[in-house]
């Protein structure tokens, strides 16, 4: 059944450059350290607004997104992964960012986070998770 309630989507985008190397068997040139320009788009979904007419305080949320993006900017993503079990793919990066942001959302009106990571102009991954 499709909900008849309105749904709001608040989106913030940030760019960052980070490095990584893939750890899968036979990664080819992706097994060497290389850089990507990532565009991270975070969308919060809500079906109601707060008393001020906001999905969430955009300034406070932007600061949270910036702080998380800054933690990975100009770093080797492999250093943030469990080297034994994690291949630092763009899918892994999207999941990591979404999970960190979900832990920082302090509103029970937020239903889900949709996080999209564009890797250069080649590929993008979208990860949708409930909050």
Please answer whether residues 126 and 116 qualify as being in contact, where contact means their C-beta atoms are separated by less than 8 angstroms: yes
Per-residue pLDDT band for 4 (boundaries 50, 70, 90) equals: low
Sequence ranges of the domains in the chain: 8-130
Q: Specify the CATH class of 8-130 in words.
A: alpha beta
CB contact at 8 A, 18 and 35: yes
What separation in angstroms does the CA of 110 have from each of 29, 37, 93?
A: 40, 29, 22
Per-residue pLDDT tens over the stretch 80-123: 988 678 999 999 999 999 999 999 888 889 999 999 999 999 99
Residue 61 to residue 74: CA distance in whole angstroms: 22
Helix (H, G, I), strand (E, B) or coil at 114: strand
């Amino acid at each position: 059944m499709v909900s008849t309630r309105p749904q709001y989507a608040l989106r913030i985008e940030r760019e960052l450059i980070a490095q990584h190397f893939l750890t899968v068997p036979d990664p080819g040139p992706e097994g060497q350290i290389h850089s990507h320009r990532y565009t991270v788009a975070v969308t919060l979904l809500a079906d109601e607004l707060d008393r001020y007419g906001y999905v969430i305080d955009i300034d406070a949320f932007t600061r949270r997104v910036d702080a998380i993006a800054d933690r990975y900017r100009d770093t080797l993503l492999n250093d943030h992964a469990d080297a034994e079990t994690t291949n630092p793919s763009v899918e892994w990066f999207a999941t990591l960012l979404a999970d960190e942001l979900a832990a920082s959302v302090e509103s029970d009106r937020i239903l889900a986070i949709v996080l999209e990571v564009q890797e250069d102009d080649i590929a993008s991954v979208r990860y949708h998770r409930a909050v």
